[in-house]
Structure 1
């Protein structure tokens, strides 16, 4: 019918206007009835009107109506708008049906401003006119205008219908307000029993965070359809109440409404979030029975769930059997591999994705780049960085942060800093990643400089940034700076955050204020294993071994399970306090009572304990029984004990072991020379020093630092402090 009208209009226009000018109006033919020709016809009509002033009013109205309908049929919106306004200006009253047609065409094209101009000039409007305009605003994310127009409608004689109410409720959901008042009006005019409106009310309450009101509305509905059940079930899932979503699904199964893929997909996500994988497998079976297994939404949810329970092969099998895959499918599977520790498979799958027609999005690249960081695969990370640039995704915050983290983990701090500098949008996570990179690499001064620099820029530091800054203060033992950071933490309200509190305890412990560290620990109503371990280690390094062991007992009584790091603190406490028997007891309990596999640090603590107690032969035999490869730290602990106890022959033997592992260990040679000197073996001292000189080995000079006028200065032996400050000025603002 539409093509017939268009063809008829085209013929009428050609017959009407062609004799009047030489503008080749024959181009307006049934075979060329698109917007360009319609616009040409409007232009020629305007030209004709200027040349011939003898139009009869009846003929002019007919011509305008014909051209208007012609433009509407062919979506020539500028021409349609001109003809419609011309009709109004000429005093010809356009029909409401035709006005709604041109209004709807503009709204669908997203030309809301032009549509509103037409709406305001319409001589007559019915409920369809108002519905078109209000729905246009609601769908176009202009919710405020939709509500204002609805209030204007209430002042007219036109009564809102179910479509108007549904659009207004959608606008309220977007705004997060006004929905309760509209709901009340719906009740007054008797539309609450309408299923279409009822669905909109349920959806509005859910999106405004009023799940209880949504459920009450759902329960009052006499008729419910597929959309009703989908809305309430997905609403519960989105609000983190998966149990209630599963209950609603059970109720739904007693009705005539059949589940759809969206419901199954949402419930699978709920089971994943709740770690209820048994229920998830039941839903998978239901999906197979209903023929939904190959659905892309269901498949994506299953591919998310199975890696969480260690069944990555099942997830890959499902992925391979999916008839249709989208970017979410590929990204989900890549994430599954990465989070399951199969990082190389994740990168291989990404390579396969690049060979398909599906383009990776910013989330895909963020995951892949992060995976490269986990592997410290710098070259691959650089290649993906190039892909990001080519695909125009470098401006996305998640991608920029992932690139920053990748370069940081690969030890390329300067490259990471450059990425952040080039990011058009950056947040506190971007800067925190750089600061953490500096601290991890031992550049604590640079970390403090950057932290105070971004604070001056007005960027609010979060708890992770402040914890990292405290770690830098602890490493440098700058108590005054640490106290200033503590003040910032109190102002920001982060003092009771577990990670921040643990960092404060560590900072005060390492800066020598163990009493204040204890006060910070007592502020925590419920600490985690990190908090307890930090305090135990603090007591240990301050020589308060008995206190550390007492705290360890309290930790066990509180039901906090120790980890391998906790036992490093416990064994260090035994070593510093000379408690050999207690040390053996706790060392043996690591595997027997707690099922933790001892690590090299535990063995090192035991060697140190035995060495301090003078049991050097037992320490040597203990080292020989270590079940994995020895390192210089373990032998170094025994070497130091040999010097203290004057066991020079054993010391020579231990030093030889260390130099076999690390021939460039200058510290070992210096300690060996000192032992020879203490024993009066000057020829051996000369040989050691000659060996160091021939191999170009020098002892790395130790650095010291001091805070002067809120600035941190580093120096080495024989430096003149005043000359250093005046001439070098190398400092870190505190």
Structure 2
């Protein structure tokens, strides 16, 4: 990798100030630097900014269009991404009273959905006296595409209670939600609705059922649906292959691949992704080498596999090999390799990759910008991460979480709270479980009062309807332990339904080691042993806690039990790369 590093460093020699990485695009993309750049043969990504000349001025003039004309013009704006013209058409619709036309309103809802303005679409939907099924489906699918799954589910349940009957589009949208949220009971209920309505024979609906069951870890049900299908298309085969690979059924997935009449690139990519995630990386590379038409996604799957296995060096080697083989790199390539760099804090490599990102025109992609923010934060360069965050034209929740996590990672709790408040007032975005976890972590580092952390925790449950995870619960237990109130933790564990989770009881036992609550510690220790079995952690913790209370006989008994059960304390170790 020396030639790549040597050549690319020629860019950075001219960056005397840290912000030059972001601002000197003219230098990076200039003709002289292009001759030196190893990626000069790659085409620079340039967004298509062409707008149809038909929309150079407002489409509506002296003639009064009818509802059909307005629907046509709104669809043109939707397909061309012409937001301003669509807004003008909406104003005309309001002024002329066409909002009562269900087809015009449905077209406008679809327009706002495609513009990723789900809240605006919902406002328009609420103004419709009798929304059509098209309007319902447009808004539900819009929420699904925007990742706002709970809103989509809530709207579907409203549809079921209305006088409008759901159709196959409604069902497939909510099946996608069930798959994403792992709501298997609801997914099965929707399956029953599909059977009753008689649309199960639809290939499209069956494909969505296969996908839902696969994501909910019910592979046999997915295969059963597949085997019942009379007509199978490429999506059917790829869906069942994906269902197998997601659930570590690699050999079964390969069997389906071999039976598939005409495997395509997606089929092979699903196999590579599954092997890279659960199998042998060498085998994944073999599949890549033998597949007919590998693309950037094929390579990205292996790149991501190396990153997820904490092997950033091989990820960088593969990244360089992609360049040598002339593989077109996309935003996901750079996102993956930057994630690997972030894990080891390799700041120099991060800046080198950032130069390539800027040259190829991917610096304004949200997924790449978020990865850069994460990389700079984990390399301790919070100011650069903050600069990237503020300069990104578009931000999604991943971007906000990356910056909030960056502040939390670098123990800047004040900034965490400030950015969280900004996020709360952002349109079409609301915090998720990762956001709240970072805020709770900031409460810990900032030694915030337990009441403050509790307000965030309760807000997550009641205001944002987010189910707490083991990590949330463990963080709250740690905060309770710091203030000597672990007695509250046991009630919280039972109230949230984590009584059968060994991880939270381990967290509680660790917290008791800080605040010296013997009674709660003994309860936690029994729970950990019941749920996870004997381990050195329980015996060492209890021995230390007994010793702190002067109960030397009990402390000795713990040590004796360790010897009797042949449980030994593992030696500590450190890892320096």
Task: Note whether the superposition's TM-score is higher than 0.5.
Answer: yes
Picking from 427, 437, 459, the partner of 1:568 is 437
Q: Cα distance, 1:303 vs. partner? A: 5.5
Matches of 1:384 and 1:558 in 2, distance apart? 42
Picking from 151, 154, 172, the partner of 1:307 is 172
State the secondary structure of the residue aligned to 2:575: strand
TM-score in terms of structure 2 length = 0.61
Alignment of 1:159-308 (within 5 A): 278=132, 280=134, 307-308=172-173
Picking from 213, 223, 238, the partner of 1:366 is 238
- In the alignment, what sits opposite 1:347? 223
Matches of 1:280 and 1:361 in 2, distance apart? 26
State the secondary structure of the residue aligned to 2:499: coil
Matches of 1:471 and 1:546 in 2, distance apart? 26
- In the alignment, what sits opposite 2:305? 437
Matches of 1:496 and 1:371 in 2, distance apart? 33
Matches of 2:546 and 2:241 in 1, distance apart? 53
Residue 704 of structure 1 pairs with residue 570 of structure 2 = no
Matches of 1:423 and 1:437 in 2, distance apart? 18
Picking from 394, 397, 400, the partner of 2:265 is 397
Q: Cα distance, 1:664 vs. partner? A: 5.1
- Compare 638-647 and 484-493 and name the one that shifted more: 638-647
Q: Contact between 2:199 and 2:205, CA under 8 Å: does it hold in 1?
A: no
Q: Contact between 1:319 and 1:333, CA under 8 Å: does it hold in 2?
A: no
Distance 1:594 1:698, change over 3 A: same
**Greater Rg by CA:** 1
Matches of 1:321 and 1:397 in 2, distance apart? 28
Residue 336 of structure 1 pairs with residue 208 of structure 2 = yes
Q: Contact between 1:307 and 1:315, CA under 8 Å: does it hold in 2?
A: no
Distance 1:490 1:623, change over 3 A: same
State the secondary structure of the residue aligned to 1:418: helix
Q: Cα distance, 1:366 vs. partner? A: 1.7
Q: Contact between 1:673 and 1:684, CA under 8 Å: does it hold in 2?
A: yes
Matches of 2:487 and 2:136 in 1, distance apart? 62
If asked which structure has higher relative contact order (CA below 8 Å, sep 6+), I would say 2
Matches of 1:490 and 1:338 in 2, distance apart? 40
Picking from 531, 545, 570, the partner of 1:661 is 531
- In the alignment, what sits opposite 2:484? 614
Matches of 1:647 and 1:318 in 2, distance apart? 59
Q: Cα distance, 1:425 vs. partner? A: 2.1
Q: Cα distance, 1:497 vs. partner? A: 1.7
- Compare 360-369 and 607-616 and name the one that shifted more: 360-369
Matches of 1:435 and 1:304 in 2, distance apart? 35
Matches of 2:545 and 2:295 in 1, distance apart? 55
Picking from 500, 520, 523, the partner of 2:368 is 500
Matches of 2:509 and 2:546 in 1, distance apart? 13
Distance 1:612 1:414, change over 3 A: farther
Q: Contact between 1:603 and 1:634, CA under 8 Å: does it hold in 2?
A: yes
Matches of 1:279 and 1:320 in 2, distance apart? 16
Distance 1:666 1:444, change over 3 A: farther
Superposed CA RMSD: 4.4
Q: Cα distance, 1:517 vs. partner? A: 2.2
Residue 420 of structure 1 pairs with residue 288 of structure 2 = yes
Q: Contact between 1:545 and 1:574, CA under 8 Å: does it hold in 2?
A: yes
State the secondary structure of the residue aligned to 2:237: helix
Matches of 1:238 and 1:545 in 2, distance apart? 42
State the secondary structure of the residue aligned to 1:705: coil
Matches of 1:350 and 1:679 in 2, distance apart? 63
Q: Cα distance, 1:513 vs. partner? A: 2.7
Q: Contact between 2:245 and 2:253, CA under 8 Å: does it hold in 1?
A: no
Matches of 2:398 and 2:305 in 1, distance apart? 21
Matches of 1:282 and 1:506 in 2, distance apart? 37
Q: Cα distance, 1:315 vs. partner? A: 5.9
Matches of 1:427 and 1:411 in 2, distance apart? 21
**Deviations 1:204-252 (Å, cap 9, x if unpaired)?**
xxxxx98969xxxxxxxxxxxxxxxxxx99x9799679xx9xxxxxxxx
Q: Cα distance, 1:509 vs. partner? A: 2.3
Matches of 1:657 and 1:496 in 2, distance apart? 50
Q: Cα distance, 1:500 vs. partner? A: 1.8
Q: Contact between 2:364 and 2:392, CA under 8 Å: does it hold in 1?
A: yes
Alignment of 1:569-718 (within 5 A): 569-579=438-448, 580-647=450-517, 650-663=520-533, 665-675=535-545, 681=552, 684=555, 687-688=558-559, 691=562, 694-695=565-566, 697=568, 699=570, 702-706=573-577
Q: Contact between 1:564 and 1:598, CA under 8 Å: does it hold in 2?
A: yes
Matches of 1:538 and 1:486 in 2, distance apart? 18
- In the alignment, what sits opposite 2:179? none
- In the alignment, what sits opposite 1:177? none
Distance 1:527 1:410, change over 3 A: same
Picking from 549, 555, 558, the partner of 2:423 is 555
Distance 1:541 1:236, change over 3 A: closer
Distance 1:278 1:433, change over 3 A: farther
Mark the runs of 5 or more structure 2 residues left unpaired by the alignment. 1-50, 56-71, 87-106, 115-120, 126-130, 138-166, 176-189
- In the alignment, what sits opposite 1:463? 331
Q: Contact between 2:253 and 2:271, CA under 8 Å: does it hold in 1?
A: no
Q: How many aligned positions are there?
A: 424
Q: Contact between 1:574 and 1:583, CA under 8 Å: does it hold in 2?
A: yes
Q: Contact between 1:607 and 1:637, CA under 8 Å: does it hold in 2?
A: yes
**Deviations 1:139-165 (Å, cap 9, x if unpaired)?**
xxxxxxxxxxxxxxxxxxxxxxxxxxx
Q: Cα distance, 1:469 vs. partner? A: 2.0
Matches of 1:687 and 1:595 in 2, distance apart? 43
Matches of 1:703 and 1:453 in 2, distance apart? 32
